[in-house]
Amino acid sequence: MAKKSGMKLIANNKKAFHDYFIEDTYEAGIALVGTEVKSLRAGKCSVKESFIRVENGEVYIYGMHISPYEKGNIFNKDPMRVRKLLLHRHEINKIEGSLQEKGLTLVPLKVYFKDSLVKLEIGVARGKKLYDKRQDIAKKDQRREAEREFKVKNL
């Protein structure tokens, strides 16, 4: 887990950065109930297969898995329940407007604590083609190879 300037990373969706071009990002709160915050403090969260929808002027995340708290009892909720995201009205309107463009979607990027509040970074994204993904992989391989050579030279 990363920790910087009052921010503690809980979950990161690396696959989203591989599969999409991120055009714009927003920071949203999450409406949590019961012992979900305690589970998040323990790092029990996954946003890999989740997706976000705008419905009736509200933003919801589907498929976000927050494991039940081990010491919880009747206060544990369904781990896969739909959760409401907390955004300002002008942000929701801006997101809805940008989603009207063909090929754009909303994807979850990161879940983190920011000054004891749970936040979700969401991105308005455009899907990558297969050749784009191959180019990204080639760039990463080149960067890794350069870093290896640099380490060998410095030894």
pLDDT above 70: residue 3: no
Predicted confidence at residue 1, as pLDDT, reads: 46
Radius of gyration of the chain (CA): 18
Predicted confidence at residue 116, as pLDDT, reads: 85
pLDDT (tens digit per residue) in 47-83: 988 999 999 999 999 999 988 887 777 767 788 889 9
Average pLDDT estimate for 14-35: 89
pTM exceeding the 0.85 threshold for the entire prediction:
no
pLDDT (tens digit per residue) in 98-155: 988 888 999 999 999 998 899 999 999 988 887 777 888 888 888 888 888 888 777 7
Domain covering 8-128, topology: Small Protein B; Chain: A; (2.40.280)
Q: How far apart are CA 66 and CA 78, in angstroms?
A: 8
What is the token pair recorded at 88?
């300002």
